[in-house]
Amino acid sequence: VAIAPSDLLVMDLAADAKGKPRRVVIQLMPPPFSQGWIGNIRKLAASKFWDGTSVNRVQDNYVVQWGDATEKKVLLEGLAVVPESDYSRVLLDDVTPGFFSALEPGNTKSGIRDVPVVVDKDAYANNGLSYIFNGWPLASNGTQYWPVHCYGMVGVGRDLSPNTGTGAELYTVIGHAPRHLDRNIALVGRVIEGMEHLSSLPRGTGALGFYESAEERVPILSVRLGSDASGFPTYEYLSTESESFGKYADARANRRDPFFIQPAGGADICNIPVPVRRKAR
């Protein structure tokens, strides 16, 4: 499935110590998720809000966070204030008719259903389901569904409730999936290229992994929507509703290559990352 350039966020960090460029590419989530925050992010990118800001926080086994460290930048007017209720969606057939009825028990294979791929008994969803649909990892408690915090997912930093953040302060997961953040904070996308430029940054030594001095911060040269970046590659992901994806998920749960002597017989939702690649021109 082709990813529209307008659904990409392209962040260029300052070159590393050896002069090597560092580009991070983020895919924004499609409707019905987090569109209030994502609308803000599109506006912020269009206004070049992040140019000259920095990566300010790197907490080991948790998150890398970026935005305006000085908090002196005036935010764009007209940003949406998004309610907490948008952290999740009410469970209706509002994604694809018939989809959720297709999640009824049965037709499972090693705890993973082929299409859509379902993992049962998610500890973070009241032992409900987690599943991968329309290209994204989701969880459901039977009443609501929501995107989940896997490695590389991108979310919106916020202050205490009822603040939900604007989207000006973003983070990505660089450790074991912090699933306790699900439904507590908005997820807006995932890193699809250049993750190593964030995950390998020096850890901050201040509280919560914030850098203690301005010199430690990693400058952000620019952040642009993919549709506003020239000469930029295009990307595609493996359809999560395809038979191939069902086979891929089954292979993740039951490794059969020669290295493995004991297939696990299952996998958690964050160990079935959706394959994304550059599209051949």
Contacts with a second copy by CB under 8 A lie at 17, 58, 60-61, 84, 87, 111, 119-121, 123-124, 126-127, 150-152, 160-161, 175-180, 182-184, 195-196, 199-203, 252-253, 255, 258-268, 270-271
CA-based end-to-end distance of the chain: 14
Q: 95 vs 148, which CB is nearer to a second copy?
A: 148
Q: Which is nearer to a second copy, 95 or 181 (CB)?
A: 181
Q: How far is CA 146 from CA 49, 103, 180, 184, 249, in A?
A: 28, 15, 12, 10, 20
Residue 200: CB minimum distance to a second copy, A = 5
Closer to a second copy by Cβ: residue 60 or 243: 60
Judge residue 51's burial from the number of C-beta atoms within 10 Å of its C-beta, 0-12 exposed, 13-18 middle, 19 or more buried.
Answer: middle
What is the separation of C-alpha 72 from the centre of its chain, rounded to a whole number of angstroms? 27
Q: Which residue has the tokens 């307008």?
A: 6
Q: Least distance (Å) from a second copy to the CB of residue 84?
A: 6
Q: Give the nearest distance from C-beta 115 to a second copy in angstroms.
A: 19
Other C-beta atoms within 10 Å of 48: how many?
A: 12
CB of 143 to a second copy, least distance (A): 12
Which residue number, 43 or 179, has a Cβ lying nearer to a second copy? Answer: 179
Distance of CA 32 to the CA centre of its chain: 15
**Residues paired with residue 155 on neighbouring β-strands, in sequence order:** 171, 187
Identify which of residues 230 and 259 has a Cβ nearer to a second copy in the complex.
259
The tally of CA atoms less than 13 A away on the side-chain side of residue 81 is 4
Cβ neighbours of residue 196 closer than 8 Å, sequence gap 6 or more:
none
Name the minimum Å distance from CB 207 to a second copy.
14
CB of 159 to a second copy, least distance (A): 9
For residue 225, the surrounding DSSP H or E stretch is strand 218-225
- Residue whose CB is less far from a second copy, 5 or 273: 273
Q: How far is the CB of 246 from a second copy (least distance, A)?
A: 17
Q: Which is nearer to a second copy, 119 or 229 (CB)?
A: 119
How many other CB atoms sit within 10 Å of the CB of residue 131? 28
- CA gap 78, 71 in Å, rounded: 18
